[in-house]
Structure 1
Amino acid sequence: MKRYSGLFIGIITVLIVFVLAGCGNNSSKNNSNITVGSQGSDFEIWEHIAKSKQAKQAGLNITVKQITDPTQLNNGTTEGQIDVNAFQSWSYYQAYNRENPKSKLAALGTTYLEPMGIYSKKFKKVSDIKDGTTIAIANNPANTSRALQLLQSAGLITLKKGFDALSDTKDVSSNPKHLKFKEIDDTTGPRVLNDVDVVVIGNTVAMDGGLHVLKDSLYHESLNQSTKDNVNILATAAKNKNNKDYKKLVKLYHNKQIQKYIKKKYFGTKIEVNKPLSYFNN
């Protein structure tokens, strides 16, 4: 009788071990491992999100990689080294897909608009800008075109039809004030303000230089139909467009507590845009 009793206890013990092992395996399966590629302030945001309790509650294990070259970041996403990237505007994303028809990206959702601004130490308003003034703009394609669109919105120039994220100063159709354009490394914008009368600066670089786009710029982007293509998105390889775990990142970004952190850290200059992707087609 004792022998059967011992055998019974042994069987129960083995069963418990298998059940516990199964629970452990199920737990790991329920946690999705996602690599997010980013740069600059977006990298900092996603590092915060990766460590947040909200990410754990969503069952997401997020690893964040910083890659400063945008083309490399997009290529890494389409090739699978990066699952999702967080750095680019809708217009840059569209331009990339046009240039890379065999390795396209898919948008997962919107995140924010970070206004670009026109700055000057010499002029107090846009209408003060004189004939022949030199304006410094970024020398990388995405920000060059965006700066020119901002100057058009401010009433300083007119751009040719079909102007897009890969267009540049050759696509200016009207320049009534005979403005001169000086292309610069966009990370030097705040420093160049001492040497050039007017500089167009992206907000991340402006903040690094102690400038607040909503307070210090002569003119800046606002969220409307003309700037919607500058809204930032999360993107993945086209084959992953329906991945449910990747889509969770969009909802996670717009979590109230995450947004509270972003607004406080970046002084309200990253304007939340929580819109369906159909927003870009309206």
Structure 2
Amino acid sequence: MKKLLGVILGASVFTLAACGKQEAPTNDTAQSNKDSAELQTITIASTGSDADIWRHIASLPETKEAGLKLDVKNFTDYVAMNTAVANKEIDINAFQSYAYLVAFNDANTQKIAPLSTTYLEPMGIYSSKVKSLAEFKTGATIAIPNDGANESRALLLLQSAGLVKLRPNFDNVKGTEADVVENAKNIVIKPIQMATAVRVKDEVDAIVLGNTLAMEGGLNVLKDSIYYEPVDQTTKMNVNVLATAADRANDPILKKVGALYHTPAVKAYVDEHFAGTKVAVDQPTSYLTSTK
């Protein structure tokens, strides 16, 4: 009986020891927890295809190797994204052109700043009724964005296309259709909310769309537009940027996020998923304000 009791007690001790061993984290798990604790979490507000890109970047080993963990927040309101960054509720946002950033700063006391350049998406003119610029009839209606810098950008595109002429001192951030000085075909320029632009495409002769909205509507600016922006010095205000609070523009941790966008893995992803419509621009932010 004593022998049997000894066997039972021995088995119980072995079982308890085994349970205790299972509850302890393995070396790999402990190291993983340690690694995660050492990563710097950066919150990024974004929307549409930009959010898709940043979710992909968040999953890359290059991001972890940079010591970063990216938390991508989806927003639908552009002003709210900038306000959240200005208030430091969000570290960075990824959605806007430099011109849009300048327009936001002009309209608000709280300021944001470009952290890094990312790409330029050509703005295009799309039509279901004509196949070339020459086919526009007198009095044709073209819908353009009605928000700040995008309105100015659209008007510059119409001028580049030869449809209108703008005053020599046209403000490429605050300009409006009132700045049109020549309009040979009496084009009716109709500013509208761009969120609904693709849906009203067939109700006007043409619409001017930024590439993000165009892609969400199943359009490719290189294939489906009848005219799109040239990618050169004249369009550098339209380069997309990562933005942060003005006093964080030189934060070395945040600068790492900008560098991630230009890694080979991200370039391959963007080329594959966006058919060349996001043209990479890897320049210092001083490029945006330089006169050359």
Give me the TM-score of the superposition, normalised by structure 2: 0.83
1:124-273 to 2 correspondence within 5 Å?
Answer: 124-160=131-167, 161-273=169-281
Structure ID, larger Rg: 2
Partner Cα distance (1:214, 1:273) in 2: 18
% identical aligned pairs: 47
Deviation at 1:95, TM superposition (A): 1.9
Which of 39, 42, 48 aligns to 1:40? It is: 48
Q: 3-state SS of the aligned residue for 2:197? A: helix
Partner Cα distance (1:226, 1:150) in 2: 11
CA displacement 1:222-252 (0-9 Å, x = unmatched): 2111111000011111111221110011110
Aligned to 2:122: 115
CA displacement 1:130-150 (0-9 Å, x = unmatched): 221111112322322221111
Contact 2:170–2:179 at 8 Å: present in 1 too?
no
Aligned to 2:99: 91
CA displacement 1:170-223 (0-9 Å, x = unmatched): 222222211102233313333323221111122122222222110111100121
Partner Cα distance (2:253, 2:34) in 1: 16
Q: 3-state SS of the aligned residue for 1:227? A: helix
Partner Cα distance (1:185, 1:94) in 2: 20
**1:183 alignment partner AA:** P
Partner Cα distance (1:243, 1:191) in 2: 41
Give me the TM-score of the superposition, normalised by structure 1: 0.86
Structure 1, unaligned stretches of length 5 or more?
1-22
Q: 3-state SS of the aligned residue for 2:58? A: helix
Deviation at 1:26, TM superposition (A): 7.7
Structure 1 runs of 4+ off > 6 angstroms? Answer: 23-26
Aligned to 1:68: 76
Aligned to 1:5: none
Number of aligned positions between the proteins: 260
Contact 1:77–1:85 at 8 Å: present in 2 too?
yes
